C-alpha cells in the first residue's frame, strides 16, 4: 500500500503531497487567497478539504475579520469549490470529517467556536460557543483550535490554546450533538479533560487504542512537543506521555495507528515521523512553513 502525506505549506501557500514511497513531492493546489491551516482527506469521495484562516487585519487586531473559508478540491487540484465563506466564519483552524453521517467539523479560533456543516457546505451550525464579544476574542483562553471526533461514542474533542507560551491551554470533550433544549452557549455536557498545558494545537483521537494525541507549540520544557494520553469513560486523561520535544512551533498532526506512527509538522517546515512505541523521531523533509497534515493511502 502506497502512502503519502498531504501538507499545507503557508510559504508559499499550497497543498503539497509528500509520498512515503519512491516518488517526488508535488504541488496539488496553489492557494492564493489566505493562509491555510487545517486539512482532511475524505477516503469516500477522494476529496481534500481545508481551512483558510483569512488575512491578518494588523498586528494588534490579528485575524479579526470574518474572512475565513472552508474549501475543497480533488487530488489533481480540480473540482475546486469554496464551501463556506462570505463572512460566515472568522479563523477556521483544524478540520476533520464524518463521511458516514455527512459532516465536516472545525474550530474557529477568533470566532471562539466549534462548528460543523454538511459536506456540501450547507447547514452551517455552531456546536460550542465560548465567547462573543470583542473582549472575549482577545482572550486566548477562549480560542478554539484543534478538533477530533470519536464517532463510535459520539464525542467531539477540541483544544483551547490560551495565550502564547502562557501555560493556560486546555482540552475539552462534549457530545457530538447539542443536548435537546440547550444551545451552543449554554450546553451542560462539556467536560474539561486537562488544563495548564503550554499551548495545545492539533488534536487526534485514535480509535484503536482510545488514546488522544496532540501537538503543543508552547514554551519548553513541555511545549513544542507531541503528547498522548488515555481517555477514561468518565472523561479523565490518564498516562500523559510527552513523546517528543524540540518542534519549531509545532502545528499539524496525523496518526497512522496501524503502523504505530505519527507525523508532525511545524512552522520551521519540518515534517517528522515519530515511532509511537519508542518515541524515536526522524525528519522526513523540510519545506516552507507548514501547518496542516493528513495521511493519504491509495486504497
Q: What is the 3-state secondary structure (H, E, C) of 36-84?
A: EEEEEEECCCCEEEEEECCCCCECCCECCCCCCEEEEEECCCCCCEEEE
Supply the pLDDT for residue 62: 63
pLDDT tens per residue, range 76-133: 999 999 999 989 999 999 999 999 999 999 999 999 999 999 999 999 999 999 988 7
Domains of the chain, by residue range, sit at 32-297
Query: Is 32-297 a CATH 2.120.10.30 domain?
Result: yes
**Would you say residue 60 has pLDDT above 60?**
no
Tens digit of each residue's pLDDT (9 = 90 or more) over 29-42: 999 988 999 999 99
Residues in the chain: 299
pTM value?
A: 0.96
Higher per-residue pLDDT: 232 or 113: 113
Distance of alpha carbon 58 from alpha carbon 63, whole angstroms: 8
Amino acid at each position: 500500500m502506497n502512502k503519502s502525506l498531504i501538507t499545507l505549506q503557508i510559504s508559499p501557500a499550497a497543498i503539497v503531497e509528500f509520498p512515503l514511497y519512491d516518488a517526488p513531492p508535488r504541488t496539488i493546489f496553489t492557494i492564493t487567497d489566505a493562509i491555510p491551516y487545517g486539512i482532511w482527506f475524505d477516503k469516500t469521495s477522494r476529496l481534500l478539504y481545508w481551512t483558510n484562516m483569512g488575512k491578518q487585519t494588523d498586528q494588534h487586531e490579528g485575524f479579526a475579520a470574518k474572512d475565513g473559508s472552508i474549501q475543497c478540491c480533488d487530488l489533481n487540484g480540480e473540482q475546486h469549490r469554496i464551501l463556506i465563506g462570505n463572512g460566515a466564519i472568522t479563523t477556521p483552524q483544524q478540520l476533520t470529517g464524518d463521511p458516514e453521517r455527512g459532516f465536516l467539523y472545525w474550530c474557529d479560533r477568533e470566532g471562539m467556536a466549534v462548528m460543523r456543516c454538511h459536506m456540501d457546505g450547507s447547514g452551517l451550525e455552531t456546536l460550542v460557543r465560548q465567547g462573543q464579544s470583542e473582549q472575549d476574542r482577545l482572550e486566548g483562553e477562549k480560542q478554539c483550535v484543534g478538533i477530533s471526533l470519536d464517532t463510535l461514542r459520539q464525542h467531539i474533542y477540541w483544544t483551547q490554546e490560551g495565550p502564547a507560551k502562557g501555560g493556560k491551554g486546555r482540552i475539552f470533550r462534549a457530545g457530538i450533538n447539542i443536548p435537546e433544549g440547550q444551545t451552543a452557549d449554554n450546553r451542560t455536557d462539556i467536560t474539561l479533560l486537562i488544563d495548564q498545558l503550554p499551548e495545545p494545537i492539533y488534536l487526534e483521537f485514535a480509535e484503536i487504542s482510545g488514546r488522544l494525541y496532540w501537538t503543543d507549540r508552547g514554551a519548553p520544557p513541555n511545549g513544542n512537543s507531541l503528547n498522548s494520553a488515555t481517555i477514561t469513560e468518565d472523561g479523565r486523561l490518564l498516562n500523559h506521555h510527552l513523546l517528543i520535544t524540540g518542534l519549531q512551533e509545532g502545528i499539524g498532526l496525523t496518526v497512522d495507528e496501524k503502523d504505530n506512527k505519527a507525523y508532525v509538522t511545524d512552522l520551521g517546515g519540518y515534517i517528522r515521523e515519530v515511532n509511537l512505541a519508542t518515541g524515536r523521531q526522524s525528519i522526513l523533509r523540510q519545506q516552507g512553513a507548514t501547518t496542516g497534515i493528513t495521511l493519504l493511502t491509495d486504497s
